[in-house]
Each structure stands twice: as C-alpha cells, then as structure tokens.
Amino acid sequence: MKRDPEFYDYWPYHDRPKIRWPNGKKMAFWVAPNIEFYELNPPNNPHRKSWPQPYPATQGYSIRDYGNRVGHIRQMELLEKYGIRGSISLSTALCDHHPEIIQMCKERNWEFFSHGIYNTRYTYGMSEQQERDMIKDSMETIFKHTGQMCAGYLAPALSHSERTLDLFAEIGTELFGKKGGIYTCDLFHDDQPTPIKLRSGKQFVSVPYSLEMNDTIAFVVNKMEPRRYGQILKDNFDRLYQEADESGTIMCIPTHNYQVSCPHRMKAYEEALAYITSHDDVWVTTGREIAEYYIEHYYDSTLADIQNKQAKWGGA
C-alpha cells in the first residue's frame, strides 16, 4: 500500500531557494479557462455517472452550451481588456464542434493544453493503451488545429490514473520532443512549481492550479455569492503577493464560461482581475510559459535543494 502518490518529495515551504520570474517579477499569475464539451448522452462509465439526472440531461447540457455560445465571448473580451492571455484547458472535441472558438483563441495567442477529448468521458476504468490513445488523440488534435505543441494536461473531469502523468510526458516526447508534455495541473499540493517523478526521468513539473479559486468549486460546491468569490480572489492574491517577497509564488484562477461568465458574476470577477493586474511586479503569463521558465532556471537547483534537505533530515 502506497503512503502517498509518489510523484514528488516532501519539501517544506519554509527556506526554499529564491525564485524570481522574468524581468525580476516576484509573482506569476495565470488564468485557465476550461473550455469544455459535454455530450448529452455519453457512453456509460460504470465508475462515474456523467449526469445526475436521467437522460436527457437537458438542463446540465444547455447551461454548458451557454458557456460556449455566450459565456466564452464575454470572458474572452474581459481577459483581453486586462492584457491576460488565457491558458485553455481544452476538451479537444471542441476543435470539431466549435472551430470558431478555437480560431478566436488562436488570434489572441492563447495557450491550448489538453483536458481530454470530452469532459463526459473519464479515465476511470481505461486500460493503459486506451488512456494512451486518448491522450495522444487530444495532443495531436491540438497540434492539428492550432499548431501548438501541447505542454500541459488536466485530466477530463479531474479523472486520472496512476499512470496518467507518465503517459502524458512520454507521448509529448514522442510527438514533439522535450517541449511536449512538460506540466500537469492535476496536483494541488503547492503554491510553487514542483519537479515530478516520472518513470521516463523526463523534466516535468506541477504548475499550481487552484481548486480553491476554481469558480465551479466556489459557486456550486461552496455556494458563494459572486461578491464573496471576488473577495477571496483578492485575498488569495494578497497573501501570495506578500509571500512572494521571499520567493516567487503563483496564482491561478481556473474558470468555466458557464459559471463565472454569467452576467451577475462578471462584475466581481472583473474587479478582482483589475486589482491583480494593477501590480507591476506580477508576471501575467500562461501555464506553458511558467513551466518552461521554471524548468530552464530552477528545476535542477530545486532538486539539489530537496536532496540536501533530505540528507540533513536523514532521508525523511
């Protein structure tokens, strides 16, 4: 029985080597719009139901369709207003269902990373070959429709297996060399990037992607009012910004166009974005750029610091 996922070593937040982002910025900030496609009647998965109600799940489907019809435009214009390039957690079936959305994002130089093919088809129960085929399909689809070598992964509906990260990194290397498959958003254990252990030994990192700041968790799970969500975004930023004086931190806002882009929620969201981007020493960036910069400048020194501390603690 494993005592932990074994992807990373214990590495306490205190007394880490100092990180500084490009041009001396002390904090990195990125927004990850989940642009997803949900099937009205997906194949059955015995491990998880796609919809809480019997077929047809018209209500659940139609609000998500609202996100792609209306909400996407609304959030895209808002992010553009504040100079934020989205890092899209993409259900790659969207490339066929709504190519116009892909084109709008391409025109704004947004990043595309894989969120599987459909958000109603889960990793649970897949064989290794089935999961490999799904991940490869999603990465090839992103390249075909955008020309981007997919760097990041968030498992569809946060469903993943013990081999997901290994497969994503390996397929990324097969397709695109060292620039493909370099980071995950599926681990929620830190406020800084973390080197991840893979069977291939490839340089690979976890980039912080916060479930606590995720609009679906805020509105659906925690039942927050929009003004409260806007305030916790600011509070989260303030704390990370303060701690960034010692060593660079990262803040991510994961969003969904059928959640935060509803009309009554946009004002509070905009106020938070305006507040965060008003700070000149914050690097407003993408998930890929964070991962690439960290791997180039801090990956090796981080591993050395982890090893030194473990030796000091007697391998704890």
Report whether pLDDT(294) > 60: yes
Query: In this structure, is residue 281 part of a structural domain?
Result: yes
Residues 218-233: pLDDT tens digits?
Answer: 999 999 999 999 999 9
Q: Identify the three-state secondary structure at position 27.
A: strand
Name which of 13-17, 133-137, 263-267, 286-290 the model is least confident about: 13-17
Query: In this structure, is residue 13 part of a structural domain?
Result: no
CATH number where 146 lies: 3.20.20.370
Name which of 18-22, 43-47, 128-132 the model is least confident about: 43-47
User: Average pLDDT, stretch 171-184?
Assistant: 97
Query: In this structure, is residue 95 part of a structural domain?
Result: yes
Percentage of the chain lying above the pLDDT 70 cut: 99
Q: Confidence class of residue 1 from pLDDT cuts 50, 70 and 90?
A: low
* Cα 287 to Cα 31, 62, 260, 265, distances in angstroms: 8, 29, 20, 25
Domain that holds residue 200: 25-312
Query: In this structure, is residue 246 part of a structural domain?
Result: yes
Query: In this structure, is residue 208 part of a structural domain?
Result: yes
Residues 76-120: pLDDT tens digits?
Answer: 999 999 999 999 999 999 999 999 999 999 999 999 999 999 999
Count of alpha carbons within 13 angstroms of residue 286, beta-carbon side? 19
Query: In this structure, is residue 3 part of a structural domain?
Result: no
Contact 113, 152 (CB under 8 A): yes
Report whether pLDDT(66) > 80: yes
Count how many domains the chain has.
Answer: 1
Query: In this structure, is residue 226 part of a structural domain?
Result: yes
* Cα 9 to Cα 152, 164, 196, 197, 208, distances in angstroms: 21, 18, 9, 9, 16
More confident residue, 239 or 54: 239
Query: In this structure, is residue 1 part of a structural domain?
Result: no
Structure-block tokens of residue 217: 């968790």
Can you give the pLDDT at residue 312? 84
Write the CB contacts of 35 (distance below 8 Å, at least 6 apart in sequence): 67, 68, 72, 88, 89, 90, 91, 94, 101, 105, 257
User: Average pLDDT, stretch 194-213?
Assistant: 97
Could you tell me the pTM of the whole model?
0.96
